[in-house]
Amino acid sequence: MSDLLSVQRISAAYGKVVAIRDVSLSLREGEVVAILGANGAGKTTLLNAISGVVPITDGDIRYGGASIRNRKPWALCRSGIVHVPEGREIFPALSVEANLKIVDARGGGPEFGLDDIFQMFPRLLERREQHAGSLSGGEQQMLAIGRGLMTCPRVILFDEPSLGLSPFFVKFVLGAIGGLKRKGIASLLVEQNMRAALRIADRAYVMRTGQVVRSGTAAEIGAAPDIQEAYLGA
């Protein structure tokens, strides 16, 4: 199958600090691809570059065969690329339901309605009237994912969805992300939790100091004995 998203030798910098350099990756329809790497490796910058939050200085990003280089985040969201950021960025003063309804559902991917989200995350149904700011960390993560899905994406960029969650929630949230494959949605999954990510990923890229240093199938990366120590600082 041809690539839905193709990142071709991109670089991005904050002023003089080059945060990612010469990074290439591909993502096919319905694939879960993990991006692994220690703190500061450039994972968030890579997602920000793809979603148009940070401009790229070199290279190209192609989506459905056309260049999306330096397109704006809202335009990308309308064409089906949604970013579920690290800080989750829900609206704390709005209810769970309002947070889900506020999005622009024009991504062109499989459609999700409120009922679909509540079926996926029953906890959100129980809390639909509650202010989002009063949800637990795990519940806020579910809400952020639910909101991302309401845009009807074809590609979702997840930044450390397991961060700060208990083992139960890690399993639940990553299980839900893995389930999106069946709808044909493609996910780029940034994680430091290598084992948990590789359980649902098809392939993985390992980053270090702004560059991709390893890539392969989830089985290959999982079986490489040195990866955890060399690149993930464990």
Instruction: Specify whether the CB–CB gap between 206 and 222 falls below 8 A.
Output: no
Out of 4, 27, 32, 37, name the contact with ligand ATP by CB under 6 A: 37
Interacting residues with ligand ATP between 88 and 147 (CB under 6 A): none
Minimum CB distance to Mg ion, residue 94 (Å): 25
Element holding 143 (H helix, E strand): helix 137-150
If one asks whether residue 193 binds ligand ATP (CB under 6 A), the answer comes out as: no
37 to each of 21, 33, 41, 87, 202, how far by Cα in Å? 15, 13, 6, 18, 17
Name all contacts of 196-200 with Cβ < 8 Å and 24+ positions apart.
196/162, 196/170, 196/171, 197/34, 197/36, 197/162, 198/34, 198/222, 199/174, 200/32, 200/174, 200/175
Nearest distance in Å: CB 128, ligand ATP: 31
Q: What is the dihedral of CA 53, 54, 60, 64, to 10 degrees?
A: -10
Partner whose footprint covers residue 168, from ligand ATP, Mg ion, none (CB < 5 to 8 Å by kind): none
Position 189 contacts ligand ATP (CB under 6 A): no
Q: Which of residues 39-68 bind ligand ATP (CB under 6 A)?
A: 39-45
Query: For Mg ion, which stretch binds (CB under 5 A), given 39-47, 74-82, 117-125, 167-175?
Result: 39-47
- Identify the bridge partners of residue 8 per DSSP, sorted by sequence position: 60
Complex with ligand ATP: residue 20 or 124, whichever CB lies closer: 20
Query: Where does this chain touch ligand ATP (CB under 6 A) — which range of 33-41, 67-75, 139-147, 215-223?
Result: 33-41
Applying CB under 5 A, which of residues 44, 51, 140, 193 lies at the interface with Mg ion? 44
> In terms of CB distance, is 33 or 103 closer to Mg ion?
33
